[in-house]
Structure 1
């Protein structure tokens, strides 16, 4: 067994190994020498990438998938108690390890950076990881999306830095003890786990309290929830706070963001008055602010700002974060993971700025019944920023249906806001519908956290036929 693998995770079995968070941990363990196995509901490129690393990946869930010599079963909060592999593990008395605890174990002996917030975690984590890698610092990282190829969401690096996305949705980010914690924003979301904004604040205060003595909190100086969090943790012993944003009081202040097509030129002023200019290779003010947060985190680690800033240009995007899927018949198709109204608004504003006079057409798939119930009207309002939208049925993910909660909530709100919106319950009809709407120069945005991403290639194929 490799000395960098915790004994319990020497021969782990992952239930749902193809998921973004689970596959990253499985990949790092495989790279460290563990005998990794697991199962997932369906075949995927991620499963194939894990097999290429030597992992055993079963398709479908069955008690027989659990190897006789498994040392632990790793689960996420999405795994239900009746899963046959989880039931078999409990019958055998095997340790059941939550994904966050497995990731925390992998961080042991490193200098961790944990990136949290309701939006922007994946992008900011990726920006910092790529920039540190470009500088030869060989970080380990675990993020919630693929950088450039299936399975590129995680890596075991030879350096002592570990950059990880920290998920607040189920409070699992309380498992980490980072040297640097980044909080991009604090908003009410994940309604199945948080009943109020006060609970959200309490959870983030707990997360900040896990920062190692002498460590740093990098936090937005612009977003109201983050500002309130800063107020609540002010004066904590041994905690350094570095604020980031466009506010005049920010310790790292962004003074300009200039769009350049699908990129941006950013200027920032550091706490010591030095001015830095750097390129962000994705469009939009919110991505520029993500890059500034990544820059601040690197500075907190001791990386020279004048080296890190230009290295941020090495980041060229994460799959599903305004990812250009292709162009056909003069129409560009771009994929967006946005599923919360704030994210939807930010991505639509960014695409509008990059559209160069063309129309913005959106194919939106709501994610989760609980989120639609609480935020459906705001989602509809966000769609008013598009020239026209197609709205699909709700992607349920881990949830059971809620009576009375359908995508009609979003459609009605969008129409009330003056939006041109078409409900389309049949996913198979979307490519034909959008191809009939689109004209040369238009941008088509497939948007949502579910399987709406699969429609991009279909739309391109129909446009090119």
Structure 2
């Protein structure tokens, strides 16, 4: 299909971080864009302010007149989070509209571009944002579709000028629903391949096969930048002529040396097969983010960006919203918000917190995301969360799932070995902070709607 064959674009689930980036892209290209989402959020409000009409009721009568009267000229973009019984989706299916998943549309947009795709069960949003910033900061014309709001851009979308002929695009390659199999990148980063989304894949082996297929789609002459500790079978189907560069903090073809922590800033040297870069200073905290930056630096080297420009880009990178975001600091307390929702992510986050704030009392508020993930990784969640001095567990955020009998936050709580642990509802959280103010470092962690607590907690800390 060709995008130029369509005049109107309609999004089912426009408020998702990936969906909203594509909606903004179509809007910037001059297409009339509309969308539905079940919840009004700051992101949907931003889309409305930019001129995109959004409604929040699942009602066919809410469909714009243009969509209902010109089926042939309408492209419907669908997120997998929309339930099968959704009324508007059922109507659009029955009427024979062209309906494409978000991943399919992203594949079409990038089909003729030089594509840098960042995959991995965790780390891909930060890594793709660093890649984008390094290119943009160095004056390389590029577009980017990101899974988070990059602080430097204040957006999840960057649109290049396209003046140099073939467009260069940075995208997140999402493994959920096998979405990344619509992409055929020139450069691929795989940050991790830990078991996740087993509701889709069934088991770890099938998920690995999905990653193998994604890696097999790297174009001949391209590059695979692979985190060194991932399953070695990931490269079994890599095409001949694709160069593989393994990376990690301590081993692989690319590694770092002399990591030092200075407050929230991490300093290090990078050693890669494409050249060494000394005295790098990353303002984004966390050992895992040093590793993410290393992968991004290799991309910059492949694209022949000078070392000095890469170093300047690393130092000026300001992070991604909800990725180790320091929300408040003062009066002997620090408040950090993070999107971590997989046990490996939480473990990396907690290890970095302990390194930056040794001997501080750490209180963590965690909202589990998905019943299946909670069921499959209850032991691993408990192990990573036991590193907190005080743990508050909120109810599971269901997202696209129906409840599973017996699967609740209690499954994690009863396995946690930390000294203080309890269950609360979101509505009880501020009162809890008033009654238990003896923490020094506070962290909200999770991928659901726990972010709605961030602003109230920040205001509470500022006023108390």
* TM-score, length basis structure 1: 0.92
Alignment of 1:433-448 (within 5 A): 433-439=432-438, 442-448=440-446
- Cα shift at 1:109: 2.9
Q: Deviations over 1:103-137 (max 9, x none)?
A: 11221332111100011010001111111111111
Structure 1 residue corresponding to 2:206, chosen from 177, 181, 199: 199
Q: 1:253 to 1:327 in 2, by over 3 A?
A: closer
- Hey, what's the Cα distance between the residues in 2 that align with 1:19 and 1:9? 22
C-alpha RMSD of matched pairs (Å): 1.9
* TM-score, length basis structure 2: 0.93
Aligned to 2:39: 42
Aligned to 2:381: 379
Q: Secondary structure at the match of 2:300?
A: helix
- Cα shift at 1:92: 2.3
Aligned to 2:126: 123
Aligned to 2:359: 357
Residue 17 in structure 1 maps to residue 14 in structure 2: yes
Aligned to 1:176: 183
- Hey, what's the Cα distance between the residues in 1 that align with 2:240 and 2:385? 44
Q: Secondary structure at the match of 1:170?
A: helix
Q: Secondary structure at the match of 1:382?
A: helix
Q: 1:241 to 1:149 in 2, by over 3 A?
A: closer
Contact 1:24 1:143 in 2 (8 A): yes
- Cα shift at 1:272: 5.0
- Hey, what's the Cα distance between the residues in 2 that align with 1:313 and 1:149? 12
- Hey, what's the Cα distance between the residues in 2 that align with 1:209 and 1:26? 29
- Hey, what's the Cα distance between the residues in 2 that align with 1:328 and 1:396? 34
Q: Secondary structure at the match of 2:169?
A: strand
Q: Deviations over 1:47-105 (max 9, x none)?
A: 22222332221122211232343311110111122212212212321100100011112
Aligned to 1:423: 423
Q: Secondary structure at the match of 1:23?
A: helix
Contact 1:46 1:150 in 2 (8 A): no
- Cα shift at 1:305: 3.8
- Cα shift at 1:350: 1.0
Contact 1:63 1:85 in 2 (8 A): yes
Aligned to 2:240: 237
Q: 1:262 to 1:95 in 2, by over 3 A?
A: same
Aligned to 1:302: 304
Gaps of 5+ in 1: none
- Hey, what's the Cα distance between the residues in 2 that align with 1:404 and 1:330? 40
Aligned to 1:104: 107
Q: Deviations over 1:292-314 (max 9, x none)?
A: 01111222233334422331222
Q: 1:145 to 1:350 in 2, by over 3 A?
A: same
- Cα shift at 1:9: 4.9
Contact 1:49 1:150 in 2 (8 A): no
Total equivalences in the alignment: 452
Q: 1:51 to 1:149 in 2, by over 3 A?
A: farther
- Cα shift at 1:138: 3.0
- Hey, what's the Cα distance between the residues in 1 that align with 2:263 and 2:116? 31
- Hey, what's the Cα distance between the residues in 1 that align with 2:368 and 2:22? 28
Alignment of 1:117-156 (within 5 A): 117-148=120-151, 152-156=155-159
Stretch of structure 1 that moved more, 402-411 or 140-149: 140-149
Q: Secondary structure at the match of 1:162?
A: strand
Aligned to 2:401: 399
Stretch of structure 1 that moved more, 89-98 or 57-66: 57-66
- Cα shift at 1:239: 1.1
Q: 1:287 to 1:151 in 2, by over 3 A?
A: closer
Residue 26 in structure 1 maps to residue 7 in structure 2: no
Contact 1:8 1:72 in 2 (8 A): no
Alignment of 1:79-94 (within 5 A): 79-94=82-97
Stretch of structure 1 that moved more, 270-279 or 158-167: 270-279
Aligned to 1:220: 227
